[in-house]
Structure 1
Amino acid sequence: MVTATRTSPVIASEDEAITVATALSTRFAENAADRDRGRVLPHDQIRELALSGLLALSVPAAHGGIDASTVTLTEVFRLLAEGDPSIAQIPHSHYTFLEALRLQGSQTQQEFFYSEVLAGKLFANAQSERGSATIDFDATTLTPDGDGYVLEGRKYYSTGALFAEWIAVRAALPGAEDATTGKQTKVVAFVPRDAVGVSVVDDWEGMGQRTTASGTVVLESVAVPAAHVVPFTPIFAGPTTYGARAQILHAAIDAGIANGALRAAVEAAGESRPYFEAGVERAVEDPLLVQLAGETALTVRSATALLEVAARSIDTARTHLTEATAAAASIDAAVAKVASARASLAGSNALFELGGTRSASESANHSRYWRDARTHTLHDPERWKIQHVGRWTLSGTVPPRHGLL
């Protein structure tokens, strides 16, 4: 394989990563409301993200990266989401499928694809499908053909595919089902965005996360070399942090929305008129608003703190991987995800209470916080995470291994 020419800088430390993410968050926030209102896709912003070096944070040191901790990666996502939640969601699959590469890729595959990442290439996903009985079934197939494979299928919720150089496609191997369970054997096929037979359709119509371009990817007789296929099913054969790592980044996006909404709420409260019964000159002196602000800040800050707790738990498990550490990491990530989801909805709701009637104006577009939160929190059911947390709490029941926990 030929490695890519580097076009983006390599971030040298985790402190530098936070500094870069903070600066990008501020810039991405500047026109986020306008992009959401007009559904203006953030091509320029994603290019800036790629050129920043942040896409390479998880590259191992042996391959030229810094192998940033989950703690740092989670904070980077939270910061980006505070600026623009749609932009933060776009690299989620990038990091998730690079984790699959780390866990199951060969040395040669890692050398090639990590060099692509270091060059600033973005990886997107083509994972979920519509119309199947359950979300864990893939109608998309990867069939042997000569020295390689042929990929056929149709994917939806393909976040970031319009912006990416590579699309990570989850597919089933026909005839390789488990004899006992009947479950599919799955792989990840890394496909160039411009490969023959690949079509990316901009048909995402979500009420929130409007500029993620999470639409359709159509795969028609796409030729895939064997060197671009990485096993997926074996990830879950033993203890793993794959699902917990993916979930903590989702939680970081929700926490970012919560923090962004709270910040907007404070600004809106400072501009609103006091309610006449409060008998105060400024709305921010109204004791009922003060109470609401305090309760909301408590919810948001608690969720943000739980992010770090879970991220540290995941880092511990990655360093000392056992059934017990992996299970604890999954439970801690589930707790953080539920808390962050609730905080994002609480913060975006409180914005209107604190900002008053004018905060509901279309020109302010404050509704985007709630729309982003409500859309993104549907990603993985909160109710099932609470079930697993409850069983763990009462009886120490180890949670199942899959990519959503």
Structure 2
Amino acid sequence: MTSFHNLVSFQSNSVANAHIIRSDAEALEIATRLAEQFQHNAIQRDSDRQLPFDEIESYSQSGLWAITVPKEYGGAEVSSYTVARIIALMSGADGSIGQIPQNHFYALEVLRNTGTVQQKQKLYAEVLKGARFGNALAEFKTKNSTQKYSAISATSDGFEVNGEKFYCTGSLFAHRIPTLVKNAEGREFLAFIPRESEGLELIDDWSGFGQRTTGSGTVKFNHVQVKAEDVIAFDDAFSTPTLVGPFAQIMHAAIETGIARAAFEETLLRVRQARPWIDSGVDTATEDPLTKFELGRIVADVRASEVLLKQAARSIDAAKPYPTVENIAKASLDVAKVRAHSTDTALKASSKLIELAGSRGSQRSDGLDRFWRNARVHTLHDASRWKYYFIANYVLNGVLPPRRGTL
């Protein structure tokens, strides 16, 4: 394992003033341009596991990491559909880069729901200047994902955090590490801990075979001091109807939908270069009837995921002004539909890419396997079978889905 500071001693910890985006259209225009740039060296970054520090700096300096900041605090407050489209674009260009800001936006949504006005003013201002938030939410050594050992305790002038986290996506690129902790009474909090805090250790030990450059390693906390103003309630985001869960999940669905779309577009290129099967009786792979059959199935699935993504985003945005039990449940179920469907679609499209490209599609230099590897690793975040269960349980029995970040 390599410590973060040894790994990237050349990186600057300072936050420069980022561009401020004013509209959905501007956000999409900038994202399209950046996604094209990020695609150029994606194969090499994946193959050599080159962490995308320069790309992430460009990404946040573009203003795209601040697009969910509410208008009253100086942000564009773009629609959920715009956020989803941008994440899909980035995920199609590079499945790791598409994943990295997901928890940043998640932390901002928790802040929107449970932070004080003073906390919002402070943290939103940092993000508008270009600050990036990572995450330290999950733990590796518990019986299940809901258990947390990392603890927060009061001190004479704030709080102290102790513990260890894993799957800390984006932490290596972050200026703050929003960290999920419990106090002695079992209350959960999100502590926005500055990266340079004494006693905080970032370890680059992520070894997943997909999404290899997300910086999803270990973060350790040894008597880390935290200011009271940097700690917000976390469990309140789920004790009442909020969009924290649906918003978190639609970003995951966008990652998979983006990978699926990119894999399909790559399949079209590869089929045009492939040879037809010997029994097809045609001269080109583009005329092979069974190849066209498989392509038709893929494009239908990809388009279905995209439509479901748009529908889910509209449900989120409809519930945002006045969240209720009913409209939050609708948003959660609509997001569950696209999340389950995009899981299947991303895996299918990325697998069919290699199949229809033929044996030449297995060449390491082309990196076609990265689509499937990224999709397979990302789809392990949540079990799609349980999403289908919650959807069916509501349709059959009227049982509302649970309120949490994993539906």
Question: Shorter-chain TM-score: what band?
Answer: over 0.9
* Structure 2 counterpart of 1:322, one-letter code: T
1:208-258 deviations in Å (ceiling 9; x for gaps): 000001000011100001000000011111112110000000000000110
* Structure 1 counterpart of 2:216, one-letter code: S
* Structure 2 counterpart of 1:259, one-letter code: R
Measured in 2, the distance between the counterparts of 1:154 and 1:336 equals: 32
Measured in 1, the distance between the counterparts of 2:354 and 2:16 equals: 46
1:293-317 deviations in Å (ceiling 9; x for gaps): 1111101110111000000001111
Measured in 1, the distance between the counterparts of 2:96 and 2:190 equals: 24
Question: 1:320 Cα shift?
Answer: 2.7
Question: 1:353 Cα shift?
Answer: 2.0
Q: Verify: 1:75 aligned to 2:85, yes or no.
A: yes
Q: 1:217 aligns with which of 210, 216, 219?
A: 219
Question: 1:282 Cα shift?
Answer: 1.2
Any conservation in 2 of the 1:56–1:118 contact (CA below 8 Å)? yes
Any conservation in 2 of the 1:124–1:166 contact (CA below 8 Å)? yes
What is the aligned-residue identity percentage? Answer: 39
C-alpha RMSD of the superposition: 1.1
* Structure 1 counterpart of 2:147, one-letter code: F
Query: Which aligned segments of 4 or more residues in structure 1 are displaced greater than 6 angstroms?
Result: none
Find the residue that maps to 1:126 and give its secondary structure.
Answer: coil
Using a 3 Å threshold, how does the CA distance of structure 1 residues 6 and 41 change in structure 2: closer, same or farther?
closer
Measured in 2, the distance between the counterparts of 1:133 and 1:275 equals: 50
Q: 2:170 aligns with which of 148, 157, 160?
A: 160
1:296 counterpart residue number: 298
Q: 2:389 aligns with which of 363, 373, 387?
A: 387
Number of equivalences: 394
1:362 counterpart residue number: 364
Find the residue that maps to 1:125 and give its secondary structure.
Answer: coil
Q: 2:209 aligns with which of 189, 207, 210?
A: 207
Measured in 1, the distance between the counterparts of 2:158 and 2:142 equals: 27
1:64 counterpart residue number: 74
1:244-294 deviations in Å (ceiling 9; x for gaps): 000000000000110111111111111111122212221111011011111
Q: How does 1:113-152 map to 2 (within 5 A)?
A: 113-152=123-162
Question: 1:5 Cα shift?
Answer: 7.6
Any conservation in 1 of the 2:253–2:309 contact (CA below 8 Å)? yes
Any conservation in 2 of the 1:345–1:373 contact (CA below 8 Å)? yes
Q: 2:114 aligns with which of 96, 104, 108?
A: 104
Measured in 2, the distance between the counterparts of 1:291 and 1:334 equals: 28
Any conservation in 2 of the 1:266–1:354 contact (CA below 8 Å)? no
Q: How does 1:288-367 map to 2 (within 5 A)?
A: 288-367=290-369
Any conservation in 1 of the 2:113–2:242 contact (CA below 8 Å)? no
Any conservation in 1 of the 2:119–2:230 contact (CA below 8 Å)? yes
1:268 counterpart residue number: 270
Q: Verify: 1:35 aligned to 2:27, yes or no.
A: no
* Structure 1 counterpart of 2:116, one-letter code: S
Measured in 2, the distance between the counterparts of 1:150 and 1:238 equals: 27
1:196 counterpart residue number: 198
* Structure 2 counterpart of 1:59, one-letter code: V
1:31-66 deviations in Å (ceiling 9; x for gaps): 111110111110110011011100000101111001
Any conservation in 2 of the 1:251–1:337 contact (CA below 8 Å)? yes
Question: 1:395 Cα shift?
Answer: 2.0
Any conservation in 2 of the 1:6–1:118 contact (CA below 8 Å)? no
Any conservation in 2 of the 1:261–1:348 contact (CA below 8 Å)? yes
Any conservation in 2 of the 1:57–1:68 contact (CA below 8 Å)? yes
1:197-216 deviations in Å (ceiling 9; x for gaps): 11100000001000001000
Measured in 2, the distance between the counterparts of 1:205 and 1:112 equals: 35
Question: 1:150 Cα shift?
Answer: 0.5
Instruction: Judge which range, 329-338 or 392-401, deviates more.
Output: 392-401
2:30 counterpart residue number: 20
* Structure 1 counterpart of 2:215, one-letter code: A
2:253 counterpart residue number: 251
Find the residue that maps to 1:11 and give its secondary structure.
Answer: coil
Find the residue that maps to 1:278 and give its secondary structure.
Answer: coil
